[in-house]
Structure 1
């Protein structure tokens, strides 16, 4: 909780992007840049997951530049369209023919209208002229010719809807809408709403009663970039020039004809308040997920155009000229459209900036046939809110409490999880769900959090480094940053453990080295010893010639300061053994260390003069540790620790050395040496420690004979052990003296 309180400003700053993303996700404040980024993510993912294989079931008859050059400019005479229709349906046996072209105006290419004007005008007195023209009319009425070619055939004409303040209408809509006006509950706006249209001539509309609208762009989300990503399948017409109701798109009309014209049904689910929500359209066994405008995501197969290979393109001129073998398009779904740039039927899509409009319809038909349908679920806003909230809270607390490197890993992990989950739902379940708001939130949260860490918290770090960087290990400085305010150079009294480590044999070694070699050697040794101290969370106080002083328990509190110091002392002894192995190989004298440890109340802080100060410890307990370091050579051990350190570090095996009175101390102090795990195990196995305790007890009771008898097996087992030799000499010497009634078994040392 203390860490949370300290980091609360940083956490609150990180939550700002979360709040911004939530406002966008809930629709309170829609941000166009995030919406645009979602579109870009959708487009990239769509391109990466397209099948990329041709669909041979759908063929596009293309009014391309070559066809215009060979057959004349557009629009072609309706009798030519009639010939094209007859060729496709009668000779090629296409299953369905959909027209992505419109027939809004009467065909005047035959001149029939002009002939009638002349017969009724300047030549009205010519006998039989009007009758002759009437007799020729069937052959000159190209609209009637096309109507005859369409009648009774599996065709779907195209038209478009408009919405204006003064609605207009051209042509004739299908007599029967795909869905009646009451298909949805009253006042429920599930689809796009229109009040005008431009449709085929009545003579054509009556001959081919099935038709579909061609409208594709639906952009009322505040970020309409003109790119076709979804297409409405159903649109509502409310006007005076046709039956009000819900009409179908060209692609849906073509698909229905190809599959036996199943009726269109709607799937409504509970929504906000009393209004249901549109979830899907159902055609027989096919369920088409749609959004609230009855639009479906266009399932693009691949890049568009004749050379892309997603669909077969056949030049309209080739069809008219009979260059296709009879029945070559048998059973195919054929769409008649234009790719000639001058006809302005090229659209911007996620897979191409100049995508043929007719191929948009072809992709929809193909997707319906394959049931390869993407869905924008009605719970998409809830998903967006949930992911933003979960990721935002994790980042707000995680980024604020973790180190910079771990914060980077956390940020990368959150991004990977968001992208992975979203991609899995897209690929595995065809669900299109928002991702941009969560990614933008992560980026902003990370940037703000790192900025706070650099500009605010790094200032505190630099202050701590200035104060403690030369004494304290870097990992302790990192821990101190958790609560930087509690650390200062101000002196305070604390229970701590202090160490003095002196190098033995240094004088003899220095005689064999040049000053430069000696300097390099000392730097190497002190660096290795310092690494051991730092690894055990110690603080280096100072270097004094061939001696290093360190302490545990400040500036960071360490309840186990004694245990850390003892372990450091054992590790330092091992380091010296490694150094000696190199010296033996190089023919140089070996060195040893003497280490003194004591635990107790000490004063620690910034001490010294106005000219020079340092962060150090002082006190009687510090002086005792310095004296104990000097006793290590006397007892033939590397480490001498006080009884206070032994009591504070019970996890080690100890061998008692003596009870001593050092210079400046009137009270006797028990001293010990810690054993390595291997030495402790061996001592326990042969009972050495127990026998040694008996030797000390006999010594302190002035039972010299018993002491010698108890010591004899220890000397026999380790005759070179300085400690055993020392006590053998003492016992022999004491046996020559009378017993002292004031004897307490302690040894006085009057020198340092």
Structure 2
């Protein structure tokens, strides 16, 4: 019980230690990586794995570079690309996952040739030069069209200022200022010639890449000069629905003192975000989850019009040399433009996973329940059952987590909970093993010489410890003794005597151990054993009597071995009694022994002594006879013994073989009838039966004693006060 409480308290202490980093949000890097891996496993397991035709990526790929020339292209070529997308293919909106931070001074030779051939269309040289300005050409293509330009924020101390990020979507929000939203010091945007024509733009940098370098979350907002600017995906979402503003939504904690950002309301939709304004990228699948068309095919008009009509178009690059490949849970070389496409797709489907602030509370509840459940149940269960409990609870945690993922789009942290379950299971099993090994070692030291090893193991596994200080128990006690041992020992050398006792005691002790008995002590040639302690035994009377009978059955074979070794045969007497006795560690400050004491012990010893008087190898008390009525008993006598005033019934359990079973039963019944006649003073009738018994069992000491008593009573009547109880008070 004490060890179980210790294991429970240690398990709860381990749980508290696991709660602290979760409460403080200071998880070790290795465990955080484990959480990332679990997130990636869930994400990959439940991918949609289908293409979203609503979003098309116009890709500056290797083919485009081969046909249209190396990057960067003349912006007149990009203007032609936009003209084709809107005028020929009828797209809904276009977004550039690139920035035009420097003026384009290159000249398109084909454009010059076209202008010279059509010089009559331009009245002066200034008009010709304006047509040759690639930035102006791209600006004209952007004007009055739903085009979103990309830019990036700078967080270095240099505070770069290149271009303008355009209009903020949130200008003043005091509560939002308290949130841990990424803040930029500078901006690298498109040149003024382009930005002035474009009211919408969005950043495509990601300051929230996870510690392992993987793109799992992307901020939808960044703070710059106290205003909030949208990401490329959010800017395109607003442009798609011709909206200008975003409304942040907050939730209060339990105290009501703090408010946390939980979502952004944009174009009539609430987009779940974390306190940093970041969204978990809802990846649809591996690369290619959106239709790709080559930019050169759009420019040359080779694309199927049905693919682009009404589509949301993202213009980006996948060519390796253009450095827009990202590490994502899907791949270590994933096009960055497709990250924005996945966010837009999630918004369209209202399929945005979230890990709001209250999920930490859910995780804490998981940890607390796991700690309480396993710390309390495992120490009280077997290894097999505790394993089932652990596996069952793990399945519940995973099942709830997957339900929340698929049905509620909640991302509930799972790594710490699984780690705690594993640690608690291993810790409890390990401590349980050491406690059990320690118990068994202690018990083996205390009982190893007296009880069989399997009983020691069972003692070590039981929940309740062994009561060593002493207690009263209903038990069975056995005493056995070698007849005429003194005379035998005088005839043998010390070596022969040692050999004889070793052979005898080994065989007798083995029988006692087989019947789950405890050898209390060897007293010279005598053996004292008991049943019912230290391990409780509901069948202690049966095991004690069976041990005595088997000891007698073993004796002929034992004597045969002794004779073969030149040693004398031996005979034994056994007394067995069941009753209440005191058991525990008893002794002095110098030596203690686990033993039994009490009236029942004394009576068993007296029974063993009376076997000599009655000439019976085995005597049991009336209590044993009443507890085990299924054996064949011969009534021996009703006596009083030294130290006990109440009369005791004596019985001899008979060894019954298959050959003499029926005949012996009839003979014993006749003998018992004679004893009853004797007690009823019908001595003549009893005398006849006792004499008849002697014809079958000559030299039977008990029958001879009864015949002697009857003759005395017939010669001198004992009087009416006579009772059939024989006194052995002086023995």
Match of 2:169 in 1: 178
Aligned to 2:193: 203
CA distance in 1: counterparts of 2:443 and 2:628, whole angstroms: 33
Shift of residue 543, structure 1, vs aligned partner: 11
Is residue 2:332 matched to residue 1:357?
A: no
The aligned counterpart of 2:104 is 107
Q: Match for residue 159 of structure 2?
A: 167
Question: What is the correspondence of 1:688-699 to structure 2 with a 5 Å cutoff?
Answer: none
For the pair 1:45 / 2:42, whether they are aligned, the reply is: yes
Question: Aligned equivalents of 1:47 and 1:357: distance in 2?
Answer: 18
What's the offset of the Cα at 1:189? 2.6
Cα 1:398–1:144 change in 2 (3 A) is: same
Aligned partner of 1:151 in structure 2 is: 143
How far apart are the structure 2 equivalents of 1:279 and 1:652?
A: 80
Q: Of 572, 590, 596, which aligns to 2:576?
A: 596
Determine if the alignment matches structure 1 residue 279 to structure 2 residue 257.
no
8 Å Cα contact 2:622-2:650 kept in structure 1: yes
The equivalent of 2:55 in structure 1 is 58
2:132 corresponds to 1:140: yes
2:40 aligns to what SS in structure 1? helix
Separation in 2 of the partners of 1:166 and 1:101? 22
- Over 3 Å counting, the alpha-carbon distance change for 1:550 and 1:736 in structure 2 is closer
The residue aligned with 2:231 is 249
- Structure 1 match to 2:73: 76
Structure 2 equivalent of residue 465 of structure 1: 444
CA distance in 1, matches of 2:339, 2:507: 75
Residues 569 and 595 of structure 1 are in contact (CA less than 8 Å); yes or no, is this contact kept in structure 2? no
Candidates 228, 231, 246, aligned match of 2:215: 228
Deviation of 1:103 after TM superposition, in Å, equals 1.6
Specify which of 327, 342, 347 is matched with residue 326 of structure 2. 347
Question: 1:480·1:487 contact (CA, 8 Å) conserved in 2?
Answer: no
Residues 1:666 and 1:437: Cα distance change in structure 2 (over 3 Å) = closer
User: What is the aligned partner in structure 2 of residue 121 from structure 1?
Assistant: none
Contact 1:59 1:335 in 2 (8 A): yes
Q: Cα deviation per residue 1:345-372 (whole Å; 9 max; x = unaligned)? A: 1111122222110111111112122222
Deviation string for 1:693-718 (max 9, x for gaps)?
9999887444789999xx9xxxxxxx
Q: Greater CA deviation, 315-324 or 201-210?
A: 201-210
Deviation at 1:29, TM superposition (A): 4.7
Distance between the aligned counterparts of 1:420 and 1:354, measured in 2? 32
Counterpart CA distance in 1 for 2:268 and 2:188 is 33
CA distance in 2, matches of 1:573, 1:455: 38
Tell me the secondary structure at the aligned position of residue 307 of structure 2.
Answer: coil
- Between the aligned partners of 2:629 and 2:64, the Cα distance in structure 1 is 96
Shift of 1:465: 1.8
Instruction: Kindly report which structure 2 residues correspond to 1:343-422, keeping only aligned pairs within 5 A, or say none.
Output: 343-400=322-379, 402=381, 408-422=387-401
Contact persistence 2:476–2:541 (CA under 8 A): no
Q: Which residue in 1 is equivalent to 2:183? A: 193
Distance 1:654 1:311, change over 3 A: farther
* Whole-angstrom distance in 1 between the partners of 2:197 and 2:629: 101
Q: 2:390 & 2:629 partners in 1: Cα distance?
A: 41
The 5 Å alignment of 1:613-628 reads 621-622=600-601, 624-625=603-604
Structure 1: distance between partners of 2:248 and 2:391 = 43
1:661 aligned to 2:639?
Answer: yes
| Shift, 1:328, TM fit | 3.0
Write the distance in 1 (CA, Å) between the matches of 2:236 and 2:598.
97
Question: How far apart are residue 260 of structure 1 and its match?
Answer: 5.8
Paired position in structure 1 for 2:539 = 564
- Judge conservation of contact 2:521–2:527 (CA < 8 Å) in 1: yes
Which residue in the other structure is 2:291 paired with? 312
TM-score between both structures, scaled by the size of structure 1: 0.71
Q: Which segment is superposed worse, 341-350 or 404-413?
A: 404-413
Deviations 1:634-690, CA, capped at 9 Å, x for gaps: 99x99975345579x79999999565338978863125799xxxxxxxxxxxxxxxx
Structure-1 separation of matches of 2:96 and 2:202:
9
Rounded to whole Å, the distance in 1 between the matches of 2:159 and 2:509 is: 93
Do 1:658 and 1:747's aligned partners in 2 also have CA atoms closer than 8 Å?
no
Q: Deviations over 1:258-317 (max 9, x none)?
A: 45648633322113653322112234553321100111111111222xxxx422222222
- Hey, what does 1:268 align to over in structure 2? 250
Number of the residue aligned with 2:492: none
Summarize the Cα distance change of 1:300–1:604 in structure 2 as closer, same or farther, 3 Å threshold. Answer: closer
Partners of 1:162 and 1:390 lie apart in 2 by 45
2:403 is aligned to 424
In 2, Cα distance between equivalents of 1:530 and 1:455: 26
Provide the C-alpha distance between the structure 2 equivalents of 1:263 and 1:257, rounded to a whole number of angstroms: 10
Partner deviation per Cα, 1:476-531 (whole Å, 9 max, x = no partner): 421578547x649xx999764214799xxxxxxxxxxxxxxxxxxx9999979855
Distance in 2 (CA, whole Å) between partners of 1:461 and 1:16 is: 27
Residue 154 of structure 1 and its aligned partner are, at CA, apart by 2.7
Name the counterpart of 2:271. Answer: 288
Q: Given the alignment of the two structures, is residue 299 of structure 1 paired with residue 282 of structure 2, yes or no?
A: yes
Change in CA separation of 1:734 and 1:140 when aligned onto 2, cut-off 3 Å: same
Equivalent residues of 1:660, 1:670 under 8 A apart? yes
Unmatched segments (≥5 aa) in structure 1: 116-129, 503-521, 580-592, 675-692, 712-725
Report deviation, 1:541.
Answer: 5.4
Deviates more, 1:9-18 or 1:336-345: 9-18
Whether the 8 Å contact between 1:392 and 1:442 is mirrored in structure 2 is yes
Q: CA deviation at 1:434?
A: 2.1
Maintained 8 Å contact 1:104/1:201: yes
Deviation at 1:390, TM superposition (A): 2.8
- The answer to whether residue 236 in structure 2 is matched with residue 238 in structure 1 is no
Shift of residue 430, structure 1, vs aligned partner: 1.8
| Contact 2:475/2:540, CA 8 A, preserved across alignment | no
Cα 1:331–1:574 change in 2 (3 A) is farther
Identify which range, 140-149 or 10-19, moves more after superposition: 10-19
Comparing 26-35 and 143-152, the one that deviates more: 26-35
SS in 1 for 2:38: helix
2:621 aligned residue: 642
Q: What CA distance in whole angstroms lies between the structure 2 residues aligned with 1:133 and 1:704?
A: 159
Instruction: Describe the shift of the 1:671–1:295 C-alpha distance in structure 2 as closer, same or farther (beyond 3 A).
Output: farther
Alpha-carbon deviation of 1:161? Answer: 1.9
For residue 477 of structure 1, what is the aligned residue in structure 2?
459
**In the alignment, structure 1 residue 552 sits paired with structure 2 residue 552:** no
Alignment correspondent of 1:215: 205
Find the counterpart in structure 2 of residue 85 from structure 1: 82
For residues 133 and 476 of structure 1, do their structure 2 counterparts lie closer, same or farther at Cα, with a shift above 3 Å needed? same
Partner of 2:119: none
Counterparts of 2:638 and 2:266, CA distance in 1: 101
Shift of 1:596: 3.5
Give the Cα–Cα distance (whole angstroms) in 1 for the partners of residues 371 and 267 of structure 2.
44
**SS state of the match for residue 199, structure 2?**
coil
Q: Deviation of residue 27 (structure 1)?
A: 1.0
Shift of 1:28: 6.8
The separation in 1 between residues aligned to 2:480 and 2:401, in whole angstroms, is 61
Report the Cα offset of residue 454 of structure 1: 5.4
Q: Quote the RMSD (CA, aligned, Å).
A: 5.5
